[in-house]
């Protein structure tokens, strides 16, 4: 039986004018039984259609902030740097992939992207727009587990991890604000910030705000997420 072919959204290095990828994303998919492939920034219509058709699953990775105009907002001063080419690729590809009902996993920016692409909005900067007692942008080491999330029962995430609480790492200054109509929150931090979402009507569409690709070697629930995603891609 062939291993599922998984498309990963590329990261961008502006200074070097180059694509790049954190190995953890690749390693998580490989250890979970899939074959990861990093995409380019092409948003050519035919290429997008072929990518949506040929790949078995899609990982929307972390990275730069999403352009606020993409979710109908004015950009505030504290919003971070955008990558226009990446936004263009991801929104075009998501439009095709969502039609196929193929599995989708969003991580950090990827979760925020899913929410924005499906009609939700984002906090552009948590310290400015939603300050709280939980630190959501930890210092190194980035694989340290720094805060707790509560997992809602009877959700996709609970079915995967089988526990009501998780300790996670956290590396973000943006987050989900208004949740998209078709998404349901399935985990929250102690300050009530949404930490995971899923689409009940889809075969597998899950977004998590933390970085399982950085902690799966010592946090068993993270590899459970990877394996559940790849298993869904193999169907």
> Which amino acids are annotated catalytic?
108, 211, 213
Q: How far is CA 198 from CA 31, 69, 113, 143, in A?
A: 23, 23, 13, 24
Only one residue has tokens 């959700």, namely: 155
Distance, CA of 160 to CA of 137 (rounded, Å): 25
Alpha-carbon torsion (62, 92, 228, 122), positive or negative: positive
DSSP state of 191: T
Q: Number of C-alpha atoms within 13 angstroms, CB side, residue 41?
A: 13
Q: How far is CA 147 from CA 58, 164, 217, 223, in A?
A: 27, 14, 18, 18
Q: Within 33-187, where are the H helices?
A: 45-54, 84-100, 109-117, 126-129, 156-161
Q: How far is CA 100 from CA 51, 150, 171, in A?
A: 12, 31, 31
Q: Which three-class secondary structure state does DSSP give residue 198?
A: strand
């Amino acid at each position: 039986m062939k291993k599922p072919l998984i498309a990963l959204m590329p990261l961008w290095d502006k200074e070097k004018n180059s694509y790049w990828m954190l190995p953890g994303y690749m390693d998580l998919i490989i250890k979970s039984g899939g074959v990861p492939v990093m995409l380019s920034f092409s948003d050519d219509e035919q290429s997008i259609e072929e990518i949506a058709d040929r790949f078995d699953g899609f990982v929307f990775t972390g990275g730069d902030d999403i352009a606020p105009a993409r979710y109908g907002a004015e950009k505030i001063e504290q919003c971070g740097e955008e990558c226009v080419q990446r936004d263009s690729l991801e929104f075009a590809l998501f439009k095709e992939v969502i039609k196929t009902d193929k599995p989708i996993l969003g991580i950090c920016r990827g979760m925020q992207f899913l929410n924005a692409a499906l009609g939700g909005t984002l906090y552009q900067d948590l310290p400015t727009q939603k300050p709280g007692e939980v630190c959501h942008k930890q210092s190194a080491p980035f694989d340290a587990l720094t805060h707790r999330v509560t997992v809602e029962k009877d959700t996709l995430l609970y079915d995967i991890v089988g526990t009501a609480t998780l300790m996670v790492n956290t590396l973000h200054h943006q987050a989900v604000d208004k949740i998209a109509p078709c998404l349901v929150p399935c985990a929250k931090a102690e300050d009530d910030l949404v930490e995971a979402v899923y689409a009940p009507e889809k075969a597998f569409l899950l977004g998590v705000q933390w970085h399982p690709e950085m902690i799966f070697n010592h946090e068993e629930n993270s590899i459970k997420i990877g394996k559940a995603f790849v298993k869904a891609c193999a169907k």
